[in-house]
Structure 1
Amino acid sequence: MMKIDGISNSFGLGNIAGVTQAQPKSGESFASMLKQSLNEVNHTQVEGYEAMSGIATGRVKNLQEAVQKIEEAELSLKLALEVKNKAINAYREVMKMQI
Structure 2
Amino acid sequence: MDVSSISNSISPLLDSQKVSKGKEQDNTFSNMLSDAMKEVNNSQVEGYNAMEGIATGKVKNLQEAVQKIEEADLSLKLALEVKNKALAAYKEITSMQV
TM class by shorter chain equals 0.7 to 0.9
**Residue 34 of structure 1: CA displacement?**
0.4
Tell me, in whole angstroms, the C-alpha distance in 1 between the residues paired with 2:31 and 2:74.
23
Aligned residue for 2:96? 97
Aligned residue for 1:34? 33
Larger Rg: 2
Counting helix residues as a fraction of each chain, which structure ranks higher?
2
Q: Structure 2 regions of 5+ residues with no counterpart?
A: 1-19
Question: Structure with the greater relative contact order (CA < 8 A, sep ≥ 6): 1 or 2?
Answer: 1
Q: TM-score, normalised by structure 1?
A: 0.73
Aligned residue for 1:64? 63
Equivalent residue runs for 1:1-99 within 5 Å: 26=21, 27=25, 28-99=27-98
Tell me, in whole angstroms, the C-alpha distance in 1 between the residues paired with 2:97 and 2:35.
34
In the comparison of the two structures, how many residue pairs are matched? 75
Give every structure 1 segment of 4 or more consecutive aligned residues whose post-TM-superposition deviation is greater than 3 Å.
none
Per-residue CA deviation, residues 58-90 of structure 1 (Å, 9 max, x unaligned), is: 000000000000000000000000000000000
Q: Which amino acid aligns with 1:92?
A: K
Tell me, in whole angstroms, the C-alpha distance in 2 between the residues paired with 1:76 and 1:50.
16
**Residue 91 of structure 1: CA displacement?**
0.1
Q: TM-score, normalised by structure 2?
A: 0.74
| 3-state DSSP of counterpart to 1:37 | helix
Q: Structure 1 regions of 5+ residues with no counterpart?
A: 1-24
Tell me, in whole angstroms, the C-alpha distance in 2 between the residues paired with 1:51 and 1:69.
7
Tell me, in whole angstroms, the C-alpha distance in 2 between the residues paired with 1:77 and 1:38.
10
| 3-state DSSP of counterpart to 1:59 | coil
RMSD: 1.1
